Amino acid sequence: MINKRVMKIVDVLLKQDSYITIDDISLQLKVSNKTIRNDLLLVAEWLNGNNLQLIKKTGVGIKIDGSKNDKLQIKAIVNEKNKSIVDYSPEARKIFIGMQLLAFDNCRIYELSNQLYVSRATIHKDILALTNDLEIYKIVLRRKNNNGISIEGKERSMRNLLLELMLHDNGYQKFIDIVRNPDYPCDGSFVFPGLEVSDDEVHDFVACILRSGNTYINSLTFQPIVLLLLRTFISFLRIQENHFVTLSDTFISELKSEPFYNDTRQITDRLTNHYRVPFPEMEIRYLQVYFLSLQNSSDLTIEDKKEAYLISDKLIQSWSNELQLPFEQDTFLREALFTHLTPAITRFRHGIPNENPLMSEVLSQYQHTFDITKNSISCIEEHFHCHVSDDEISYLALHLATALERMKLPLRTIVVSHGGVGVSNLIVQKVSTQIPEIKIIAQETFFSIYDTDLENIDLIISTIQLNLKTTIPIIQVNSILHDYDILRIKDIILEYYKIKNDPLNYKTALHK
């Protein structure tokens, strides 16, 4: 895989009819002379593979030598690889700018303005929006007198931010498609435009790992594989730019007793051999932590299992107190939380982001459940001294939603019939067998219903019009209940059932 600056260097060289000095190139690309010299090795290799040569003349400079047709073909390739992003929405611009800051040490406002086809004032607004995300990861934005910007922060924070940006970039779906399809039809376009990484480069990287026969990777389901590939790809990109993580000696010592080092080493050795990009020992240990974060309960120590159960019990207690429901009696909930938390505690300890592809649906379908879950995660944040992301919260919310489904309360219903006991019993039988959301509490007549205590009743089904002074919904049906009566009842009660079983209404619903 070629360095991201290679295309820029080739672009500069193609615009010259004569020699250009390395100093001039470094000034144009805003990087050091040494960086350009190192990249020229890759430039020469890439040009040789495309029927061109990089000519160096001492004291004069460098230029590309070859036929005009070959140069035109290379120019077309460079232009294709340097496409600007298609999506110009504020969110897409923010992601693009964030990726540019992480891909290159310095960015200039006017260059971003030209790339995104917006004014400099718009770029400043986008940067302001990005600053909020930077603060979450404790990354500082630096502004320079020459209208340039850069970011500073811990390397692990930089990588976590990059993962977050990639997960929300339109290219994430394209990345998934490449992982899913070994024969993905690459066309040289960018997967993540802000990183200037093309689909053929991503495809080669993914294939290099997935074809390794790594037993750990082969044991994972699809979504964890995608996340592992992204995390490894991020490390690879940052290492190429000479940005390395640092881990304490104590932490590395602890990792030596943990599993998956050999699995991690197999992957990094394969990447080193394929791309000639060495992974230092500390980088291997860093990826080992991420491998650990995806492990299942069978790989955990006894202490880790105790910790997972401890957090599970604290969450269950918080939900029980909030909703006044006996979640502590739900053994399925406890085991489901334990299974989720066994790999999650490693993510909490080391600030490893997770991604939930269903988060938007969770927020749409279970907003109140999500809110209750979010109010309960202080036990995690205080225990691990971490920030729990909305993605992690949405996973936990799904477990709470499942438990709530098991505890859903039916609508307490009275049947009123003027056709006698036989008609009334028939209605009760049909409703009870075909509409599980309803529980028949009593059967009343046209006269007795007016003397009935309705305090704990949710619904009345009647074969005759009633003039009760009540806010309780009354559904009038035929004496001989038809199929369309059943369908109409189901349609009408849907909203009432949903409201009663809304988590925010459970405290009231429990007393009915």
The model's pLDDT over 475-493, given as tens digits with 9 standing for 90+, comes to: 999 988 899 999 999 999 9
Residue 80 and residue 84: Cα distance in Å, rounded?
Answer: 9
Does residue 100 contact residue 26 with C-beta atoms inside 8 Å?
A: no
- Of 152, 133, 91, 134, give the one whose Cα is nearest residue 116: 91
For residue 338 the two structure tokens come to: 């334990």
Range name among 58-62, 104-108, 179-183, 393-397 with the lowest pLDDT average: 104-108
**What is residue 35's three-state secondary structure?**
helix
Does the domain at residues 298-406 carry the CATH identifier 1.10.10.10?
Answer: no
- Whether the per-residue pLDDT at 6 is higher than 60: the answer is yes
State the Cα angle at 146 between 141 and 151, rounded to 5°. 15
> What mean pLDDT do residues 179-189 have?
91
In whole angstroms, what separates CA 295 from the centre of its chain? 18
> What mean pLDDT do residues 442-454 have?
92
Confidence of residue 509 (pLDDT cuts 50, 70, 90): very low
**Higher model confidence: residue 71 or residue 375?**
375
Task: Specify which residues 174 forms β-bridges with.
Answer: none
For residue 371 the two structure tokens come to: 């809110």
Confidence of residue 505 (pLDDT cuts 50, 70, 90): low
- The pLDDT of residue 379 is 93
> What mean pLDDT do residues 381-390 have?
89
- Whether the per-residue pLDDT at 443 is higher than 90: the answer is yes
Pick the CATH number of 411-509 from 3.40.50.150, 3.40.50.300, 1.10.150.120, 3.40.50.2300: 3.40.50.2300
- The pLDDT of residue 87 is 53
Pick the CATH number of 90-153 from 1.10.340.30, 3.40.50.2300, 3.20.20.70, 1.10.10.10: 1.10.10.10
Half-sphere exposure of 150 (CA within 13 A, CB side): 10
Residue 364 and residue 383: Cα distance in Å, rounded?
Answer: 30
Reported CATH class of domain 4-81: mainly alpha
> What mean pLDDT do residues 232-245 have?
95
Residue 484 and residue 414: Cα distance in Å, rounded?
Answer: 20
Predicted confidence (pLDDT) per residue in 97-130, tens digit: 999 999 987 888 988 887 887 888 899 999 999 9
What are the C-alpha distances in Å from 2 to residues 196, 202, 290, 505? 11, 11, 26, 58
Sequence-separated contacts (24+) of 12-17 with Cβ below 8 Å? 13/43, 13/54, 13/62, 13/63, 13/64, 14/64, 14/71, 14/74, 14/75, 14/78, 16/63
Range name among 178-192, 233-247, 256-270, 292-306 with the lowest pLDDT average: 292-306
For the full predicted model, state whether its pTM sits above 0.75. no
In whole angstroms, what separates CA 118 from the centre of its chain? 28
Residue 111 and residue 115: Cα distance in Å, rounded?
Answer: 6
Count other Cβ atoms within 10 Å, centred on residue 329. Answer: 11
**Higher model confidence: residue 310 or residue 50?**
310
Confidence of residue 82 (pLDDT cuts 50, 70, 90): low
> What mean pLDDT do residues 495-509 have?
73
- What mean pLDDT, rounded, does the chain reach? 87
Would you say the CATH fold of 90-153 matches that of 4-81?
Answer: yes
Q: Which residues contact 501 (CB under 8 A, 6 or more apart)?
A: 404, 408, 409, 509
**Higher model confidence: residue 428 or residue 359?**
428
Burial class (CB in 10 A: 0-12, 13-18, 19+), 475: middle
Range name among 146-150, 445-449, 472-476 with the lowest pLDDT average: 146-150
- Whether the per-residue pLDDT at 1 is higher than 60: the answer is no
Paired sense of beta strands 438-444 and 459-462, if any: unpaired
- The pLDDT of residue 299 is 59
Share of the chain above pLDDT 90, in %: 50
- Domain layout of the chain by residue ranges: 4-81, 90-153, 159-294, 298-406, 411-509
Residue 20 and residue 135: Cα distance in Å, rounded?
Answer: 41
Residue 444 and residue 473: Cα distance in Å, rounded?
Answer: 16
- The pLDDT of residue 266 is 96
> What mean pLDDT do residues 10-15 have?
87
- The pLDDT of residue 439 is 94
- Whether the per-residue pLDDT at 145 is higher than 80: the answer is no
- Whether the per-residue pLDDT at 510 is higher than 50: the answer is no
- Whether the per-residue pLDDT at 166 is higher than 70: the answer is yes
Does residue 25 contact residue 12 with C-beta atoms inside 8 Å?
A: yes
- Whether the per-residue pLDDT at 275 is higher than 50: the answer is yes
Concatenated DSSP letters of 98-157: HHHHHHSS-EEHHHHHHHHTS-HHHHHHHHHHHHHHHHHTT-EEEE-TTSEEEEE--HHH
> What mean pLDDT do residues 182-186 have?
93
